[in-house]
Structure 1
Amino acid sequence: MSVTLNAHQFGRLLERTAGHIADEFIPALHGVRLEADDTFLYAIASDRYTLAVARYRHHGLDGEPFARTLPARALASLRRWAADQPGNTPVTVSLAENRLRFTAPQGEVGVGVDDGQEFFGWRGVLRGVIDQIPAEDGTTSPFPALDTRLLARWTDADHYLRLRVTADRQGALLVGEDFIGAQMPVRTRHDGFDTGLADDLDQVRTLWDGALAGAPAAAMPDSLPAARRTPHDAARTVPETAKGLLRQTLSSTHDLIEESSTSPTAVAAHASAGVTAWMAFRYLEALHHADPKLAARIVTETAEQLDDGAIGEFAHDAATAAGHDPNAWHEEFETKRAKQQTTPDEKPAATTSEGERAPATASPALAANG
């Protein structure tokens, strides 16, 4: 009985759920539950007040579905092992007697588990949260109190999560990409202890009426000052970056057509810009689908590098680290440019993103698609 997925996604399953495990006084919840069915490998964790479930579509189930709980004591070393593997390395999770094995081409880790340890019916709990019906008596609105210390546990789940609340005493639902969870509300008055929190929105209005009286209602994004940006500032979010890349692709394609009969040099420049922007969009789209949180971090880091202005130095260092010789590339470029300058009657040919020469008369559609 085994399933296979890549090392990065396996590490993400543990990362998204490890913060929700219970302490050692609840042995059945002191770890991360791994469950495999015909389609997904699930990671589940709960401390009784929060419940987090992440899943990933594996490469195939060999044998029967299985479920075992990884003990908390093994999680730190297992997460380090997964992080040490190249992200696309296949990791096979297999079940043996009282043991889970995690096998990659560069090594194997075995973790002792209790084959007889039971786990609670997490599917039924989440079904109950999803099917909750909001109060519709017209007298109260859902206004649950949430423990902010527990809110911090959702940081590793996703960059964005959808939140649904239905009533004061019902769990809040949190949903991300291949992720679902719930957080139980706290009682504002329990065992005679008064937290001082308002119990409903009418009390909030009463308490704050003096401070807010006379102010017209307004939407938060429309009323607060936005950050000042120049047209040259790099985009810092995935949607904004994707939009910019698509606009650049379309703009370059349009300019390619406009310049196709007048300037071979401009044709080459527009073709290269359009092809590069389209490639970057497709790569960003794939990264965002595989790991939205990683995509957001890469976009932010790239924006900082672009704003720094030293991208030539960054590219030189990256090329050297990858085993290339950027100095040889520069010499090749200078030699080619010198040759073009000595033969001014010869029209330079456009180049693709891979450096292959293409006729300057290539069709705009072909050039735009690389």
Structure 2
Amino acid sequence: MSTATRVQAHHLATAITRTKPHISKDDTLDVLNGIHFETNGNYLYTIATDRYTFAINRTDVVNGQPWTAHLREDDIPIVLAWLDRHDEDAYIEINTEAVGSRTDLVLSSLIGTLRSSDPTVNRRHFPDWRTMVRKILATDQAVNPLTAFNSRYLARFKVIGSVLHSWQAGPRKPLVLTDNRDFIGLVMPAPDEKVTRDGLVDNWAWHLKRTEANVLGASFDLTVEYRDRHGDPWRYSGKDGQYGEPLMELVGIDDDPWPLLKVIDTYGPLSKDEPIAA
């Protein structure tokens, strides 16, 4: 049975470009080695995933009956080059044709016809993307202490070319990315169980400390320790008080830090000592 769906050339090119970075390179998962095309007669959905990321693009179409097809990764450069020969507002007619046990994707326009024949059969087992995304979106957003993501996977979304909105349902849950128009994507968390938020904060805390403070008209170098009049060492704790005053701690004593002005008033004068070790 032949079907027909009409879509503008630049919209189809955009849909393919947005989803192709997410195609799987695993040749044992042939169902993921390309872009899944699906239409309900009103929208054309292009979907690709390698299980680490998921990309779904939605495009308005004209007419057509519901159908599904598969565009092989090897054919994508040819299809994009063919689409680039069209004016932006030119319409492409998409047909699917049953050829034996496979379904071919046929693109037609005023300048010619292009066919993508996929020798792999049984595309019925492409992941149930609607159910998966629906469940993720239905989950209430939770506080997320820490989740790791692979930067290479995040880079796949740069082709969207717009601001992306994001959220997670909870720690170590997929990151949802959407442009609030026609694209939604998922990024799966990267395994990194040994890293903690406190550890990441500590890794930068020393480098982000204040280095100087002005108290009573005098400048204090906060990268060194100070000796009070009794010879006891004080150093900047890395924390500031409610009004931004540096809080000092007595070295070797586990106690609440004191504002620098209070240390000066109580135990001053203070004299410079050794630099604080990193």
Q: Pick the TM interval, shorter chain.
A: 0.5 to 0.7
Structure 2 CA distance, aligned partners of 1:3 and 1:151? 32
Structure 2 CA distance, aligned partners of 1:21 and 1:142? 30
- The answer as to 2:205 corresponding to 1:169 is no
Q: 1:110 aligns with which of 92, 115, 120?
A: 115
Q: What code does the residue aligned with 1:117 have?
A: R
User: Aligned to 2:159, what secondary structure does the other structure show?
Assistant: coil
Contact 1:94 1:101 in 2 (8 A): yes
Contact 1:129 1:182 in 2 (8 A): no
Contact 1:35 1:65 in 2 (8 A): yes
**Per-residue CA shift, 1:26-76, capped at 9, x if unaligned?**
201000001011310010000110000001111222xx3001111111111
**Could you tell me how far 1:216 is from its partner in structure 2?**
8.9
Structure 1 CA distance, aligned partners of 2:58 and 2:121? 22
- The answer as to 2:156 corresponding to 1:153 is yes
Structure 1 CA distance, aligned partners of 2:87 and 2:239? 55
Contact 1:164 1:174 in 2 (8 A): yes
Q: How does 1:280-319 map to 2 (within 5 A)?
A: none
Gaps of 5+ in 1: 218-370
Contact 1:145 1:168 in 2 (8 A): no
Structure 1 CA distance, aligned partners of 2:133 and 2:9? 28
**Could you tell me how far 1:127 is from its partner in structure 2?**
1.5
User: Aligned to 2:80, what secondary structure does the other structure show?
Assistant: helix
**Could you tell me how far 1:123 is from its partner in structure 2?**
1.0
Q: 1:126 aligns with which of 124, 133, 145?
A: 133
**Could you tell me how far 1:199 is from its partner in structure 2?**
1.8
Matched residue, 2:188: 184
**Per-residue CA shift, 1:258-279, capped at 9, x if unaligned?**
xxxxxxxxxxxxxxxxxxxxxx
What is the root-mean-square deviation in Å for CA atoms of aligned residues?
2.0
Structure 2 CA distance, aligned partners of 1:7 and 1:216? 58
| Alpha-carbon spacing, 1:144–1:65, altered in 2? closer, same or farther (3 Å) | same
User: Aligned to 1:130, what secondary structure does the other structure show?
Assistant: helix
Contact 2:70 2:105 in 1 (8 A): no
**Per-residue CA shift, 1:79-109, capped at 9, x if unaligned?**
1111111111110111111311100111110
Gaps of 5+ in 2: 211-237, 241-278
Q: What code does the residue aligned with 1:49 have?
A: Y
Larger radius of gyration: 2
**Could you tell me how far 1:126 is from its partner in structure 2?**
1.2
- The answer as to 2:202 corresponding to 1:203 is no
Contact 2:141 2:167 in 1 (8 A): no
**Per-residue CA shift, 1:262-313, capped at 9, x if unaligned?**
xxxxxxxxxxxxxxxxxxxxxxxxxxxxxxxxxxxxxxxxxxxxxxxxxxxx
**Could you tell me how far 1:171 is from its partner in structure 2?**
0.2
Contact 2:136 2:169 in 1 (8 A): no
Matched residue, 2:76: 75
Aligned residues: 203
Q: 1:48 aligns with which of 44, 48, 51?
A: 51
| Alpha-carbon spacing, 1:29–1:70, altered in 2? closer, same or farther (3 Å) | same
**Could you tell me how far 1:152 is from its partner in structure 2?**
1.1
Contact 2:19 2:57 in 1 (8 A): yes
Matched residue, 2:67: 66
Q: What code does the residue aligned with 2:196 have?
A: D
Matched residue, 1:19: 21
TM-score (norm. length: structure 2): 0.68
Structure 2 CA distance, aligned partners of 1:152 and 1:207? 25
TM-score (norm. length: structure 1): 0.52
User: Aligned to 2:123, what secondary structure does the other structure show?
Assistant: coil
Contact 2:19 2:55 in 1 (8 A): yes
Matched residue, 2:96: 95
Contact 1:13 1:43 in 2 (8 A): yes
Structure 2 CA distance, aligned partners of 1:93 and 1:179? 21
Matched residue, 1:275: none
Larger RCO of the pair (alpha carbons < 8 Å, separation 6+): 2
- The answer as to 2:147 corresponding to 1:144 is yes
What's the % identity of the aligned pairs? 23
**Per-residue CA shift, 1:163-202, capped at 9, x if unaligned?**
112333210000012000100001114xxxx6xxx322x3
**Could you tell me how far 1:115 is from its partner in structure 2?**
5.6
Structure 1 CA distance, aligned partners of 2:239 and 2:90? 56
Structure 1 CA distance, aligned partners of 2:157 and 2:69? 23
| Alpha-carbon spacing, 1:216–1:15, altered in 2? closer, same or farther (3 Å) | farther
Q: What code does the residue aligned with 1:133 have?
A: D
Structure 1 CA distance, aligned partners of 2:79 and 2:59? 18
